[in-house]
Structure 1
Amino acid sequence: MKKTITIIGSGFAAMAASCYLAKSGHEVTVYEKNDSIGGRARQLKRDGFTFDMGPSWYWMPDVFDRFFADFGKTTADYYELVKLSPAYSVYFGVNEFIAIADNLAEIEATFEAIEKGSGAVLNNFISEAKSNYDIAIKDLVYRPGVSPLELVTPETAMKVGQFFSTISRDVRKKFKNERLIQILEFPVLFLGAKPSDTPSFYSFMNYADFGLGTWHPKTGMFDVVRAMESLALELGVTFKTNSNIEKILVENKTAKSIVVNGETIASDLILSGADYHHTETLLDQEHRAYSEKYWDSRVFAPSSLLFYVGFNKKIENISHHALFFDVDFYQHAKDIYDEPQWPKEPLFYANFPSLTDKTAAPEGMESGFFLIPLAPGIQDTSVLREEYFNKIIDRFETLTQQSVKNNILFKQSFCKNDFVSAYNSYKGNAYGMANTLLQTAFLRPKLKSKKVKNLYFTGQLTVPGPGVPPALISGKLVSDLINKQFSDQ
């Protein structure tokens, strides 16, 4: 039976859900508080420069393929992908960097040249990681986190030890060179937790990195947003921007309507792809499933200080993605997770999309995106932003052996306070709730409200977790639960 469904937010999870629910015949309307869709994956255009404001890594292409295949489509129907070569570079000092190739054979050769015998060890490590990937990404993450039994399969039973060891411990058993260790620990940072707190089973992220490679939609990650919007519109979804949700109204423990910009709009079912904690604050206290104490006790992924920078010249000695690990990797992690504070010497990431996409900057110029991971809930001031920009741009000049400060046409920052104001993000986190052992699968906040009928959630604070591919999967999982509810009525 056709139902009217209200979706709050237009991030990847919400848009994926909108497509699945519209395909099932429901009347779906998406309400977005900002003036453009995409959630954290919005686009910034300024003075002829174009920036992806949030996600910039396109990993796990098979998950995107699977999403579009569910609608009889392919990614190529909507956007073109470029495989990056090198995938990324990691800077450890002046003239000291490691470029990660776009294929495993060359990566193994790079490892072997740095640590004798490590090439063969890496091959075995990635084989195991691929096995985990096949179990996790092709099966386990497509389960809705309703029961712990979802994790019990013949395949996971053979890997139970990997849930009680950590990425950091396993990598250090196999490799001795500290730089190779940091490169292997890096991918799990996408899961929002320290490598020392992330179960070994999550080595599947290393296969996503070395085995599947790093891709880039031809004109940026916003290509994916446009693609999903096009698909949703084809399926009959309606989008309404500048639509701030002020309240979710509940009658007889059933979600009945939302208040949008002062107007009450009735609906058969409400699905929130907005921040989970914020969404519950739209409910009266008695209808909230999780207390403030619960949220405060969770391990959240970092916030970020971002800079979108327009340069009036081409930047040298750099790759599309670049990681700057020339300072203490583990001290920065402590400053995020253990003793939250602004790091004295921050790691940072830089992204130069105009190296791949000529439309990202005017001819002869460069668009640059810089990111410093920070503890969520941290103090955020304009003075601190400026101080930290100067810290990283000084190091960037030294490490890439060029002067760039005088070539900056503009820089625009985005930090914790902006994550709160733009996305209602809990403590200004950038990636959601970390995927630690005690925050995995059925231990995460539920897709279906435990207290209010016809109220569901999707996105990075629920199942399966942080990242763009998991967001697409989250949209599918919640739509399956919703359709099951309607079919059972």
Structure 2
Amino acid sequence: MTRTIVIGGGIAGLASAALLARDGHDVTLLESRSELGGRAGLWSAEGYRFDTGPSWYLMPEVFEHFYRLFGTSAAAQLDLVKLDPGYRVLFEGDPDPLDIRADRAANIRLFDSVQPGAGRALDRYLDSAATTYDMAVKRFLYSSFESFRSLLVPDVLRRLGRLARLLLQPLDKFVAGYVRDPRLRQILGYPAVFLGSAPNLTPSMYHLMSHLDLADGVLYPQGGFATLIDSIAGIARAEGVRIITDARVTAIRVTDRNRVAGVRYDDADGRSTQLDSDVVVSAADLHHTETELVPAKLQTYPERWWNKRVSGPGAVLVMLGVTGQLPQLAHHSLFFTTDWGRNFGQIFGTKTSVPSPASLYVCMPSATDPSVAPTGDSNLFVLVPVPADVTLGGGGINGAGSTTVELVADAAIAQVAQWANIPDLAERVSVRRTVGPADFADDLNSWKGGALGPAHTLRQSAFMRGSNMSKKIAGLYYAGGTTIPGIGLPMCLISAEILLKRLRHDTTTGPLAEPLPARPKRHPGPTDLPGVTEKPVKSAPRRS
């Protein structure tokens, strides 16, 4: 059997480990922290439970496909509910928020009510988004770009002119061709933020994202996103993956013939251990992998390569347990400033600063899930985009973070209170924790302390994002949001599948056939080693 080590126990690492084990690899997964999940973490205090990272369940067919590869389904693994409204948008100086509904027809009517004729324009826009999305799934998202021959097919060649326009025209200009109202332009431009970018930096190819929220709708797994991590970890174990937590990899070992030999890691007590392997897959941050774990002369992506790249935004996260309910907020609420171009400039410009006021995001899962807060109380997760800059500091509990991070949190709470008309919000906070860019760097080895990874600019999309295989070390591969195809939970699942295709030298561009063949029989052995501390999170009943 091929002995394989996977570095990182986030969703990409777990999915990669599961797929490779299913394919016959003898897999050991090493996670530096005591719990699994990576960015999709969990924090609990005083009866409140917070997802510390991803909170949008989009591209449901990607999750469904992944589960079906293993002979199961999303319905069997998760308790999914559709949100209606999918999200609420509040605008600076405007007392009337807009609710994005759970179906396309309702959103077309909404756009028409804001700007006469915009409904018909949205209909055309969503047709384009759906066509582009289908093309992306069929020809680009599941490709390793090991060979470009598979892209020289009639359906791609016929659309070369349109594809060129979608790649070269920024999203904000593309949106402006459909609607005039600035609020509607912001709604259509906001998906750039999911991609760690800004509307003026993101290729309009990514208008396909609007197909996901404005037509497909937004889902939520009851119990929170930790249930998703638990389910994929369970699949990995069932496939025979050994999981070791509190195992911080300090080096990827290489033979004198520039081939992977294994890794060296430190356990919770600082003891150093060596593991041998034929293959190493790093699902950790690619910058960390290349510049810290690989010898300098064998780095495919050395520091000078990163100096020419654009990081996605950093973030200040604010987790709040609030007494009482907050009907002014939906499960997902977006707060858009009038001059949000200036906001993006402060985050991505040559001279960065923290926006004030900020276009920010608030998640209140207690609107849907009674298990995440004490009965009658509210759970708030506030995300404030800031520059990817570790000097802004880290967070803490009850105001113990850096001065800058806590001031950003205070301003965000005041902004939400004012814009959503919750004047006593600050007084009702009983639990508070903040996270800052320095925490992303320290806990997740994130490049520049960014919250997401490299931004999806033109030069950092598709095959220009980089390869998922080392060019200098045989047997070293990559997975996760910092490599192809990019940022987000669905993309991380796809990155795991692309990894398997790369190892198989499979140059097809679509998803693998479902289900995967049963894994080859192996000698009996333990599927876990001491160190795993996570426990399943029980799904909560649906709230009527």
Tell whether the 8 Å contact from 1:327 to 1:345 is kept in structure 2 after alignment. no
Give the aligned partner of residue 116 of structure 1.
116
1:199 is displaced (CA, Å) by 1.6
Q: Structure 1 residue 53: deviation in Å?
A: 0.6
C-alpha separation in 2, matches of 1:153 and 1:343: 45
Judged with a 3 Å threshold, the aligned counterparts in structure 2 of structure 1 residues 344 and 400 are, in CA distance, closer, same or farther, namely closer
2:384 corresponds to which residue? 372
Partner of 2:248: 244
Distance 1:426 1:30 in 2: 22
Distance 2:327 2:216 in 1: 27
Q: 1:277 aligns with which of 277, 283, 287?
A: 287
Question: 1:335 aligns to what?
Answer: 346
1:294-331 Cα offsets, whole Å, 9 max, x none, are 11210111111001111122123110000111342111
Q: In structure 2, how many angstroms separate the alpha carbons of the residues matched to 1:397 and 1:206? A: 28
Q: Is the 8 A contact 1:255 1:453 kept in 2?
A: yes
Residue pair 2:146, 2:502 contacting (<8 A) in 1 also: no
Asked if 1:397 corresponds to 2:417, the answer is: yes
Q: Deviation of residue 429 (structure 1)?
A: 1.0
Alignment map for 1:58-457 (pairs within 5 Å): 58-92=57-91, 93=93, 95-147=95-147, 151-157=151-157, 158=159, 159-160=162-163, 161-251=165-255, 252-261=257-266, 262-280=272-290, 281-338=292-349, 339-381=351-393, 382-402=402-422, 403-457=424-478
Could you say what secondary structure the match of 1:29 adopts?
strand
- Please state how far the C-alpha of 1:17 moved relative to its aligned partner: 0.9
Mean Cα deviation higher: 269-278 or 476-485: 476-485
Post-superposition Cα deviations, 1:154-174, rounded to whole Å, max 9, x if no partner, equal 333312222221211111011
How far is the alpha carbon of 1:137 from its aligned partner?
2.2
Aligned length: 484
Aligned-residue offset at 1:342: 1.4
Give the Å deviation of 1:445.
2.2
Unaligned runs of 5+ in 1: none
User: Is the contact between residue 94 and residue 400 of structure 1 (CA under 8 Å) also seen in structure 2?
Assistant: no
Does the CA contact (< 8 Å) of 2:409 and 2:434 recur in 1? no
The DSSP-based 3-state class of the residue aligned with 1:40 is: coil
CA drift of 1:379 comes to: 2.4
Code of the residue aligned with 1:432 in structure 2: it is G
Q: Deviations over 1:15-61 (max 9, x none)?
A: 11111101111111110001100111011111111111100000000
Q: Give 2:418's aligned amino acid.
A: T
Change (3 A) 1:469 1:236: same
Answering whether residue 53 of structure 2 is matched by residue 54 of structure 1, we say: yes
8 Å CA contact retained: 2:11, 2:493: yes
- RMSD over aligned Cα atoms: 1.4
Cα distance in 1 for partners of 2:221, 2:139 equals 26
1:149 CA displacement = 5.2
Aligned to 1:16: 15
Q: 1:303 to 1:477 in 2, by over 3 A?
A: same
Local SS of the residue matching 1:297 = coil
Secondary structure, aligned partner of 1:111: helix
Gaps of 5+ in 2: 267-271, 394-401, 507-544
Amino acid at match of 1:395: Q
Single out whichever of 299-308 and 324-333 deviates more from structure 2: 324-333
Which secondary structure does the structure 2 equivalent of 1:475 belong to?
A: helix
**What is the SS of the residue equivalent to 1:317?**
coil
SS at match of 2:70: coil
What is the match of residue 541 of structure 2?
A: none
Instruction: Give yes or no for contact 2:133–2:208 (8 Å, CA) kept in 1.
Output: yes
Kindly state the Cα deviation for residue 411 of structure 1 after the two structures are TM-superposed: 0.8
Cα deviations across residues 327-377 of structure 1 (Å, max 9, x unaligned)?
421111001111322113211110011111100001111111000111112
Q: Secondary structure at the match of 2:200?
A: helix
Distance of 1:196 and 1:466 partners within structure 2:
18
Structure 2: how far apart are the matches of 1:286 and 1:118? 55
Deviation, 1:384, is 1.0
Q: 1:147·1:442 contact (CA, 8 Å) conserved in 2?
A: no
CA deviation vs aligned residue, 1:266-321 (integer Å, no higher than 9, x gap): 11111000011111211111111122111121011111100111112212311000
Instruction: Name the CA distance, whole Å, in 2 between partners of 1:15 and 1:260.
Output: 18
Scaled by the length of structure 2, the TM-score of the pair is: 0.87
- Matched position secondary structure for 2:374: coil
C-alpha distance in structure 2 between counterparts of 1:42 and 1:137, whole Å:
28
What is the CA–CA distance in structure 1 between the aligned matches of 2:100 and 2:150, rounded to whole Å? 35
In 2, are the aligned partners of 1:199 and 1:437 still within 8 Å (CA)? yes
Deviation at 1:436, TM superposition (A): 1.4
**What amino acid maps onto 2:55 in structure 1?**
S
